[in-house]
A and B are shown apart, each in its own frame.
Chain A
Amino acid sequence: MVKHVIPKTYEEALDHLSEGTFKVLAGGTDLMVKNRSWSETPARFKQDILYIHNLEELRYIEDRGDYLAIGALTDYETLLRHEAVPQVLKDCMLEIAGPGIRKVGTLAGNIGNASPAADGVLTLYLLDAKLVIEQKGSAREALIDDVIVGPGKTTLSNEEIIKEIRLPKTRFTKTRFLKVGGRKADAISKVAFAGAVTIEDGVVKDLRMALGAINVTVVRLRDVEKRHIGETISAVQDNIVSIKNAYVPHIKPIDDQRSNRVYRKRVAFNMIEDFITTMHTQD
C-alpha cells in the first residue's frame, strides 16, 4: 500500500524523508503525467509520496550579494516576473510549457526529474548553478553537473531533498537560449542550446555553451570553453572546426518519438557554430 503524506512544515518533511523511502512531489507536473492512470482514477504511484507543494517556507527569491538564492518551490511564473533573475533563464522559462504549468512547475522539480531534455536544467548548467541539498541534521552544496548523472538519475539519497538553487551573479555581454521542438508552446525539446559570452575590448573573457537532449545528461565542456578564454574574437572564430571537433565524442543523441539522431546531431553542431560566429553581435 502506497503511503501519501502532506508534511505541515519543512522540518516535518525532513523527518519523513529520514524514516521512509518517499518520492518528493513539488508541482507534480511531471510525476502526475508519468504515473497517470485512467480518467476519474487516482494517479498510479509505485512509491510513497511526500506532497511538499504547500511548504511556503521553500518559496523565496533572495539576493545574497554574490548569488541569487531560489527556494525549491519557487515556480516558473514567479521567476519570470522577478527582476533579479538572469535574462537567459527567463528566455528559457518562457519556452517551457504554458502559463498554467509554469505556475506550479519548479526548477528543483526539473532537476529531480533529471530529464536529458529538461530546458531549465540546461540553463542552470550554463549559469554554474549550485544546489543546496539537505537531509535531517546536515546539508551539502553541489554544482548541478555533479548532481545529475543520467536520465532520471541524481546523486540525491532517499533522505535528501533539494532545498535551494544558487545562481552566482555574472554579467554576460550576450546570452542565448534556443530550443528546437515540435511547436512553440508545450513542446519538449528535440535539441536545446544555451550560450553565454563576455567580451571586453575584443577579447573573450568568458565563454559557455550547454546542449540538451543530445546525451544522457546536459553537455557542457568547461575545459574546451576555458581553452579560448583570453583569445580575441577572431582567434576563437577561426578555431570553429576544432571547437566543433571537441564536441564530437559528446554529441550522442538517440532516436525517439520526438526526433532522430541524424537530425539532432546536425542541429546541435549548427547551434554551436552559429553561437560562436555571432558571439560579438546582438541577436
Chain B
Amino acid sequence: MAKVTFTLNDETVTVDEPLNMRFLDILRKELGLTGSKEGCGEGECGACSVFMDGWLVNSCLLPLASVEGRDIMTIEGYRETKRYKVLENAFVEEGAVQCGICTPGMVMAAENLLNRNPSPSEEEIRIALAGNLCRCTGYEMIFKAVKRASKEGEGLW
C-alpha cells in the first residue's frame, strides 16, 4: 500500500492502495465512480477512457503509480461541462447509444478529438475513435453524432 495524490474532477484526492492496482479499479471500487466501464481489460475497447492532463488514456492499463500528481477527469467530471451537453444531445439525436457500455468512452474520445480539432473530417473522426469498440451501433450513428456535435457546438471547442 502506498499513498498516491492526484486531482480528480477538480478535487485533490489521496488514496492508500497498492501501486499496481489498475486505475480503473481505483475509480470504480474505491472512489465509487462507475461511469468508466471495463469492457475488455486489455486496452482494446476504450470503455475505460479517462483524461490524464487533458489527454485520453485507458484507465485499465494505468497502474495507480502512474497517476501520482496528475490531473484526472472522468466522465463524471466531464458531464458538468457545456461541451458534454452538446455531445449528449448529438448522441441521443443520432441514435448513437444502444446498450451504453461503450458510450462514456466514446464521448471522452470525441472530446479528445474536438478539443484539438473542432471541425474534423469523417476520416479524422474514425481515427480518433479507433481505440473504442461498439458492438451495437455499427459505428455510423456515432460518427454522425460527433459530426453533429462539432456543428452544433461551434465555438465551444
The interface residues of chain A lying within 8 Å CB-to-CB of B62 are 28, 32, 104
Binding site secondary structure of chain A: loop
The interface residues of chain A lying within 8 Å CB-to-CB of B57 are 100, 103-104
C-alpha spacing A6/B62, complex, angstroms: 14
- A39 vs chain B, min Cβ distance (A): 6
Asked if A238 is an interface residue, CB under 8 A from chain B, the answer is no
Binding site secondary structure of chain B: mixed
C-alpha spacing A265/B58, complex, angstroms: 34
Known: A33-B42, A51-B19. A98 touches B132 (CB 8 A): yes
- B89 vs chain A, min Cβ distance (A): 23
Inter-chain contact A98/B42, CB cutoff 8 Å: no
CB nearest neighbor in A for B70: A54
Contact of B41 among A2, A36, A99, A101 (CB under 8 A): A36
Asked if A77 is an interface residue, CB under 8 A from chain B, the answer is yes
Inter-chain contact A97/B20, CB cutoff 8 Å: no
Known: A4-B19, A185-B130. A100 touches B65 (CB 8 A): no
Which chain A residues numbered 1 to 41 have a C-beta less than 8 Å away from chain B? 2, 4, 6, 25, 27-29, 32-33, 36, 39-41
Chain A residue total in the interface (Cβ 8 A): 32
Contact of B46 among A29, A43, A54, A98 (CB under 8 A): A98
Inter-chain contact A99/B19, CB cutoff 8 Å: no
The interface residues of chain A lying within 8 Å CB-to-CB of B60 are 32
Contact of A99 among B21, B25, B109 (CB under 8 A): B109
CB nearest neighbor in B for A51: B65
The 4 closest A-B pairs by CB, nearest first: A98-B131, A185-B130, A51-B65, A53-B66
Known: A43-B21, A101-B131. 19 other contacts (CB 8 A): A29-B43, A32-B62, A32-B63, A36-B41, A40-B29, A42-B20, A42-B21, A49-B20, A53-B66, A98-B46, A98-B109, A99-B128, A100-B49, A100-B57, A100-B58, A101-B61, A103-B57, A185-B131, A186-B131
